[in-house]
Chains A and B, each alone.
Chain A
């Protein structure tokens, strides 16, 4: 069951990455959605890794109970991934809630962040 779930998260991550590559190639000005998709690539990889490595399955980004807080679990259990994960989480929130994020944040500014995150999170699970 959990093996199946792990695989489904990996597949969803790959699906998101396919979409990301298409947007990067054809619509690079949509930086708000580029950052958001990249974050959800990372989320699915993290979810798969937590389940595989620690049998944990957090249901919230942030929660006082650490077992339910994906952010806290990434910080504590995968500290090497934390800076990249936090920046993606942070920027995807701003991209969704701050008007005109895509006009302020150009692809040049986040391109390196995106490429590095893709390489990094592919190592999970």
Chain B
């Protein structure tokens, strides 16, 4: 009970002091007369006198003794505020969408890195490449694996010359895409028709017939 009284007293004191402060503050504020503001348009949030719209919301018209802005002007201001709030809402929605996209991408990257730690094996990647290439009906294919370091996989997929070269290349693109997703290796897998490699000398580690 005592506590309530104390609280009430302190609250009243706070209100009184706040009111006194407000009364001292009010005369320093002005609202532009309607005639002053009805000509040229002013910015949305600042009047010609420099008093912000935000602060003017707190001005008591009776105490300042100035003319109340017309309904038309208030209506215009409300429309402008509504337009600004719509823009802000849209921008916030866009920002939220971007955050979600970036979080998804970050999840992919983090997920891939975890995956990579388990699959940084060149031989394993080569095995998968051969396995996937076998599922494509390539004409007389072989894989020439070039000599590289343990973090690299360079392979030449060699096929007979064919009119369907670009069709086969699309299929190889899918296979290479899977390797990129799964392995932390510097990779270069290229499709060649046999006649393209005539006279082409490279340091081959091994050749795998499919």
Tell whether B173 is near chain A: CB-to-CB under 8 Å: yes
| Chain A residues, CB < 8 A from B173 | 82-83, 86-87, 90
Which stretch from A17-25, A36-44, A58-66 is at the chain B interface? A58-66
Binding site for A on B (CB under 8 A): 101-102, 105, 108-109, 112-113, 116, 151, 165-166, 169-170, 173-174, 176-177, 180-181, 184-188, 190-192, 196, 200
Establish whether residues B180 and A77, one from each chain, have CB atoms under 8 Å apart when the complex forms: no
Number of interface residues of A (CB under 8 A): 27
- Which residue of the partner chain B has the closest CB to A100? B196
Kindly list chain A residues whose C-beta atoms are within 8 Å of the C-beta of B151. Answer: 64
Instruction: Tell me if A76 and B112 are in contact (CB < 8 A).
Output: yes
Q: Of residues 36 to 85 in A, which have CB atoms within 8 Å of B's CB atoms?
A: 53-54, 62-64, 66-67, 69, 71-72, 75-77, 79, 82-83
Given A66-B184, A93-B190, 10 other A-B contacts at CB below 8 A? A64-B186, A77-B105, A77-B108, A79-B177, A83-B170, A86-B176, A90-B190, A98-B196, A109-B165, A113-B166
Beta-carbon nearest neighbor of A63 in chain B = B186
* Contact yes or no, A71 B196, CB < 8 A: no
Given contacts A66-B112, A86-B176, contact A53 B101 (CB under 8 A): yes
**Chain B, interface SS category:** helix
Give CA–CA (A110, B165) in the complex, Å.
11
Q: What's the count of A-B pairs with C-beta under 8 Å?
A: 63
- Give Cα A77 to B113, complex, Å: 14
Contact A82 B184 (CB under 8 A): no
The 3 A-B pairs at the shortest CB distance, nearest first, are namely: A86-B173, A75-B180, A83-B173
CB of B180 within 8 A of CB of A72, answer yes
Q: Closest chain A residue to B200 by CB distance?
A: A98
Q: Are A64 and B101 interface neighbours, CB within 8 A?
A: no
CA distance A82 to B48 in the complex (A): 57
Residues in chain A within 8 A of chain B (CB atoms): 53-54, 62-64, 66-67, 69, 71-72, 75-77, 79, 82-83, 86-87, 90-91, 93-94, 98, 104, 109-110, 113
Q: In the complex, which residues of chain B have a beta carbon less than 8 angstroms from the beta carbon of A63?
A: 186
B180 touches A94 (CB 8 A): no
Using Cβ atoms and an 8 Å threshold, which residues of chain A touch B196? 94, 98, 104
Indicate which residue in B177, B187, B200 contacts A82 across the interface (CB closer than 8 Å): B177
Minimal beta-carbon separation of A121 from chain B (angstroms): 16
Contact A90 B169 (CB under 8 A): yes
List of B residues within 8 angstroms of A64 by Cβ: 151, 184-186
A90 to B172, CA, bound (A): 11
Q: Are B102 and A109 in contact (CB under 8 A)?
A: no
Give the chain B neighbours of A86 by CB distance below 8 A: 173, 176-177
